[in-house]
């Protein structure tokens, strides 16, 4: 009799437990969705939101390293030898970024801002003094001017004469400071008076200190969290005009400073990069961890810069058929006033091996030359990032310039950058806290169910023990202590529950 009732009890309790667990799991799903919705509400670009201030003035320090390729056998190269390059660097600058003139537009649905950057040199993180170190490299102004004048009956000879009279050759030797921040080029000085859009000064980073790259309008992410930080217009336009197809001209994704929360491993992350005059995409590579924060590593796959044969979607980036280059290169002339500038990853990483093999001293390595973004998948926060890109010049035979006849078409590397950021400790602590809240919040019902289960077990054990005692002893008074125990326990449970919930807010 007693044994049977005991087994009925047990089955009943197990059924109840399973029911509670089932409901708990259901509620947990609801809670998770609730937490995620809360997250989506908080990660928006509006005044007073959790992320707005750090979006306007990102606290993590950004470092910009410049590496140059010093050409060490100029004469031999002009006589047909393989060019020898020596990498010189880093010349490191601390990069200060902030968003300028931030204002809500279109009835607060979007936010407009200018992205201002300035650079301060860091001697202790650099190999030498940029004011002294001199680099022999391609004479970019000369190649730009020759490209403009090529094929012209009277312009080409005139440019040749000017080049001779100013001593401008295919290569030039300049200090790092001059190459980066600008120098007056004698050939440009000759050309400028008759061409108002030509500047006398040339530098890879000329006028880039303390300036911005035009007005951006971003989605705030309030209507749809997937749109958080997405670029709507750049310089007032929602499309570029540099390229040949609508797909190539599309402005996709964010500007690289904000990514939507709740990232998926299967999604493509789009970033619009004014430096490259195009949008690129990145794909999931692997799970990483930075300062204890889990992250997904996204990196541009080979297809981004693949030739049009390898990836037909890239055909729009190739302005005229005879100018199409192989995999791993992007000719950015359309947005460099026609100068024969070609972008790639450093050391032609992910490019056709023929570009690598054309030089001595080029050695692509993933760890040093890959571009990547490590994003925390829950919050979309950037925990680490490395942007690496190389500037090259297309050297080729140009009609009207007999001296170029000795040259084969060469994509000549000039310089590459390594722009890196790692989340600062204070921001990392904030992300940790947020993640704890989200995890606890999502799992809160499970914690309650777990505690409930444990309590139930304790009650059962006590009940069973009580029964044994009752069977053994004659008097009937042992009931009340059990009741007391039960009460105590349930209070205890609630108390623990509250602590769990309250902790992260403290």
Ligand X SMILES: *[C@@H]1O[C@H](CO)[C@@H](O)[C@H](O)[C@H]1NC(C)=O
The nearest distance, CB 183 to ligand X, in angstroms, is 13
The nearest distance, CB 361 to ligand X, in angstroms, is 12
- Looking at beta carbons only, is 50 or 208 nearer to ligand X? 208
The nearest distance, CB 315 to ligand X, in angstroms, is 27
- Looking at beta carbons only, is 135 or 382 nearer to ligand X? 135
The nearest distance, CB 421 to ligand X, in angstroms, is 9
- Looking at beta carbons only, is 356 or 462 nearer to ligand X? 356
Q: How many residues does the chain have?
A: 506
**Residue 88, SS3 per DSSP:** strand
- Looking at beta carbons only, is 5 or 75 nearer to ligand X? 75
- Looking at beta carbons only, is 158 or 407 nearer to ligand X? 407
- Residues 170 and 143 sit within 8 Å (Cβ to Cβ): yes
In angstroms, the Cα distances linking 274 to 20, 57, 317, 331, 448 are 55, 20, 15, 14, 51
The nearest distance, CB 355 to ligand X, in angstroms, is 14
Q: Name beta bridge partners: 413.
A: 392
- Looking at beta carbons only, is 38 or 86 nearer to ligand X? 86
- Looking at beta carbons only, is 162 or 412 nearer to ligand X? 412
Question: Whole-angstrom Cα distance, residue 417 to residue 389?
Answer: 6
Question: Angle CA(224)–CA(230)–CA(231) in degrees, nearest 5?
Answer: 140
The nearest distance, CB 390 to ligand X, in angstroms, is 11
Structure tokens at 454: 């444990």
**Residue 276, SS3 per DSSP:** coil
- Residues 297 and 373 sit within 8 Å (Cβ to Cβ): yes
- Which helix or strand (DSSP H or E) is residue 485 part of? helix 479-502
The nearest distance, CB 113 to ligand X, in angstroms, is 9
- Looking at beta carbons only, is 134 or 233 nearer to ligand X? 134
The nearest distance, CB 74 to ligand X, in angstroms, is 8
Q: Say if residue 252 is exposed, middle or buried (CB neighbours under 10 Å; 0-12, 13-18, 19+).
A: middle
**What count of other Cβ atoms lies within 10 Å of the Cβ of residue 112?**
17
Backbone angles phi, psi at 399, to 5 degrees: -70, 135
**Sequence-separated (6 or more) residues with CB below 8 Å from residue 28:** 442, 443, 444, 445, 446
Range list of β-strands (E), 274-375: 278-290, 293-299, 329-331, 341-344, 372-375
- Looking at beta carbons only, is 133 or 185 nearer to ligand X? 133
Q: In 74-172, which residue ranges form alpha helices assigned H by DSSP? A: 74-78, 140-149, 155-166
For residue 414, give the nearest of 244, 204, 193 by alpha carbon: 204
- Looking at beta carbons only, is 184 or 503 nearer to ligand X? 184
The nearest distance, CB 176 to ligand X, in angstroms, is 8
The nearest distance, CB 89 to ligand X, in angstroms, is 8
Binding positions for ligand X, rule: CB under 6 A: 63, 65, 70, 72, 80, 88, 90, 100-101, 114, 118-121, 133-136, 181, 209-210, 212, 368, 406-408, 418, 420
């Amino acid at each position: 009799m007693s044994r049977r009732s005991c087994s009925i009890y047990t089955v009943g309790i197990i059924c109840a437990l399973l029911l509670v667990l089932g409901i708990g799991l259901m509620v947990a799903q609801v809670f998770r969705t609730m937490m995620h919705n809360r997250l989506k509400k908080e990660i928006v670009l509006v005044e007073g939101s959790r992320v707005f201030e750090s979006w306007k003035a990102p606290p993590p320090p950004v470092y910009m390293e410049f590496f140059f390729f010093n050409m060490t056998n100029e004469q031999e190269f002009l006589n047909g030898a393989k060019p020898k390059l020596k990498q010189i660097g880093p010349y490191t600058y601390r990069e200060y970024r902030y968003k300028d003139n931030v204002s809500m537009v279109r009835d607060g649905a979007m936010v407009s801002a200018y992205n201002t950057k300035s650079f301060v040199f860091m001697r202790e993180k650099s190999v030498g003094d940029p004011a002294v170190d001199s680099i022999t490299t391609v004479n970019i102004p000369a190649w730009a001017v020759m490209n403009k004048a090529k094929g012209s009956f009277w312009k080409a000879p005139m440019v040749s004469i000017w080049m001779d009279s100013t001593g401008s050759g295919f290569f030039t030797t300049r200090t790092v400071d001059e190459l980066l921040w600008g120098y007056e080029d004698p050939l440009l000085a000759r050309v400028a008076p008759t061409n108002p859009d030509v500047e006398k000064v040339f530098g890879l980073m000329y006028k880039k200190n303390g300036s911005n790259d035009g007005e951006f309008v971003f989605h705030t992410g309030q209507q749809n969290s997937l749109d958080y930080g997405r670029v709507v217009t750049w310089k007032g336009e929602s499309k570029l005009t540099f390229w040949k197809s609508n797909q190539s001209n599309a402005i996709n994704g964010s500007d690289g400073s904000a990514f939507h929360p709740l990232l998926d491993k299967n999604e493509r992350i789009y970033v619009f990069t004014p430096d490259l005059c195009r949008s690129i995409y990145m794909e999931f590579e692997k799970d990483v961890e930075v300062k204890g924060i889990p992250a997904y590593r996204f990196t541009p796959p080979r297809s981004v810069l693949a030739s049009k044969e390898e990836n037909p979607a890239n055909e729009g980036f190739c302005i005229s058929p005879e100018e199409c280059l192989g995999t791993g290169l992007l000719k950015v002339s359309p947005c460099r006033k026609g100068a024969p500038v070609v972008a790639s990853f450093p050391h032609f990483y992910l490019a056709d091996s023929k570009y690598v093999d054309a030089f001595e001293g080029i050695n692509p390595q993933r760890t040093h030359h890959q571009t990547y973004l490590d994003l925390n998948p829950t919050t979309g926060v950037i925990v680490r990032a490395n942007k690496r890109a190389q500037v090259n010049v297309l050297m080729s035979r140009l009609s009207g310039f007999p001296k170029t006849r000795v040259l084969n078409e060469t994509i000549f590397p000039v310089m590459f950058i390594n722009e890196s950021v790692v989340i600062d400790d204070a921001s990392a602590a904030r992300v940790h806290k947020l993640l704890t809240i989200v995890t606890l919040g999502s799992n809160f019902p499970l914690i309650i169910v777990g505690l409930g289960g444990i309590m139930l077990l304790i009650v059962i054990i006590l009940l069973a023990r009580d029964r044994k005692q009752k069977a053994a002893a004659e008097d009937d008074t042992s009931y009340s202590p059990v009741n007391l125990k039960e009460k105590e326990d349930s209070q205890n449970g609630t108390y623990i529950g509250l602590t769990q919930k309250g902790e992260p807010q403290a």
